[in-house]
Structure 1
């Protein structure tokens, strides 16, 4: 095969998951390669940091990498659009593994998982509940359930659930669906609205040429967000999280809470081998694509993946 990246459709529950397979240099389909599944952040897509930054770098290091779009988002199927349901997000990982472990050039016993931001929280939860994953890396991981109960609900989860219930009833009766944007429209608007580093830098990433992509729309269907409020990425981690674990986070905390979440899962995980890497002078969104943050992250996570997944055979 000569492709560097191959786009595939993976059967899901009742729709298809869109995924890009990133191949290592000098790929030989007669060999067996370790594989890594990469998950994008909330409101993102596979063409952004999970694919074009981490997917590309991990593939260049000798792995087959699969970066996929979440159900109801990106190029994946599922309706209505823009649902952010943690149970579906974690289920997606399982369908991706179902597919890639059948590929003749993937070693089914050497598959790892990596996620960024909310995708990092989902990746950790997937590793807790699907032991086909042999190791896990969370890049500035966010527990979307915790964030939904706190910041996204303005610290009033009961009030938020009441509004979501009313909106879903109205939509079921014919009202237009309410799709919210998680971010301000411009960096200028973000600076006017808040001093929070995560919101400002997220807007700079997603709403400018730096990181914007057609499917990276940072949108969510408000009436379907209720599922997230009762979910927790780290539930039962003290028992179920027994995979080798690495979390990488910047030392600059922001409103989305990755610094807090990374330390929590590192402390709670039952993993016999677990590492937390705190990068000085680095913020959440620097770890999406900034070389001064991504390079030291890769210097830690690539040896970790090599240790637990090995090389092509």
Structure 2
């Protein structure tokens, strides 16, 4: 690490990261550039199909994939799920994996790249502001509820990692979502503000000053500053203090890499991130809530804290997958199967 600011930015940025010895899922070998095992390779009759779509959201082009069930009939009435991707991720990674699994169970599922990220529009690149990520979720709901064959009265929401925290915020006020689930939820605001595991409480003001300076430089026409953009050696990765970060490099940079995926975000985004918390007004969620996390995830504390604060609904469950770390829920077959089975039962009951 070159300095404390870089280390802080890197540790704060790695919001969705899993374990070594993962089987590679090369996006280059998939015609849809999907980077997960078992991904669709062609749209075949009688099978789950994937449709690349683009729609406008606040003047920006949003790139999304819509997964439709086998023998999909546009004249039918299908339940639908909005899937929000992790921080740094794109729709072709774990969000696509779970969207495909849901489509295999008869749901229409949409996964979109966040505005300013992935294949979606917006400049500068990799702005990561909570208001934008929450608006992305509302925008996916807008689009999928106008999709032929979708029953607008049966819409659910699934948020993964950072997308899980933003999903809680979106579901607090968007009552189109009849139920909400999170997997390995990551409270981006808490981590950007306090550090991972609340380990950087003593540097909050210093980091806010850095973010303020970065915004001032942007507004003056200077360069856009980024946090979380680092090229670490194997030794540096091994020395990172949390499994989430170590395993994240393996997943995002090696086994499930995608060119649209990056850890970096504009440093000025921290002005918004550090005053955000995924649990703010969480009691406004009145719909059924399912929160899933691995027992060995060092991010589990965020799911447990949010679950305790979700007092607005009595229909809620915290489901822990024995032995799973945060990112192993992204790819490891046994853990994906456990999470998918729980999600299917939950959405079947609540939608």
Which residue number in structure 2 is paired with residue 12 of structure 1?
A: 57
- What is the Cα deviation at residue 246 of structure 1? 0.4
| 1:186 CA displacement | 5.2
- Of 200, 215, 233, the match for 2:260: 215
Report Cα offsets for 1:184-215 as digits up to 9, x if no partner.
54554310x3241111001110110x211111
User: Among residues 33, 38, 44, which one is paired with 2:89 in the alignment?
Assistant: 44
Matches within 5 A, 1:1-313: 4-51=49-96, 53-151=97-195, 154-155=200-201, 156-181=203-228, 185=232, 187-191=234-238, 193-208=239-254, 210-238=255-283, 240-254=284-298, 257=299, 259-269=300-310, 270-309=312-351
Cα distance in 2 for residues equivalent to 1:135 and 1:184: 40
Q: SS at the partner of 2:158?
A: strand
Contact 1:187–1:204 at 8 Å: present in 2 too? no
TM-score scaled by length of structure 1 = 0.92
Distance in 2 of aligned mates of 1:289 and 1:84: 25
Q: Normalising by the residue count of structure 2, what TM-score does the alignment of the two structures yield?
A: 0.82
1:93 Cα deviation (Å)?
A: 1.2
Tell me, what secondary structure is at the counterpart of 2:64? strand
Look up the SS of the partner of 1:126 in the other structure.
helix
Stretch deviating more after TM superposition (268-277 or 36-45): 268-277
CA distance in 2, matches of 1:260, 1:140: 10
> Are residues 182 and 199 of structure 1, via their aligned partners in 2, closer, same or farther at CA, if it must alter by over 3 Å?
farther
Uncovered stretches (5+) of structure 1, i.e. residues with no partner: none
Question: Cα offset for 1:241?
Answer: 1.2
**Pairwise CA RMSD:** 1.7
Distance in 1 separating the partners of 2:182 and 2:250? 22
Contact 2:159 2:183 in 1 (8 A): yes
Describe the superposition over 1:9-37 as per-residue Cα deviations: whole angstroms up to 9, x where unpaired.
Answer: 12211212111000111111121110000
Is 1:128–1:243's contact at 8 Å kept on the other side of the alignment? no
| Contact 2:297/2:324 (8 A) holds in 1 | no
Give the C-alpha shift of residue 183 in structure 1.
6.2
- What is the rounded CA distance, in whole Å, between the counterparts of 2:69 and 2:231 in structure 1? 38
Query: What SS class does the counterpart of residue 225 from structure 1 fall into?
Result: helix
Tell me: CA distance 1:301–1:80, structure 2 relative to 1, closer, same or farther (3 Å).
Answer: same
Greater RCO (CA < 8 Å, at least 6 residues apart): 2
Figure out how many residues of one structure are paired with residues of the other and give that number.
Answer: 302
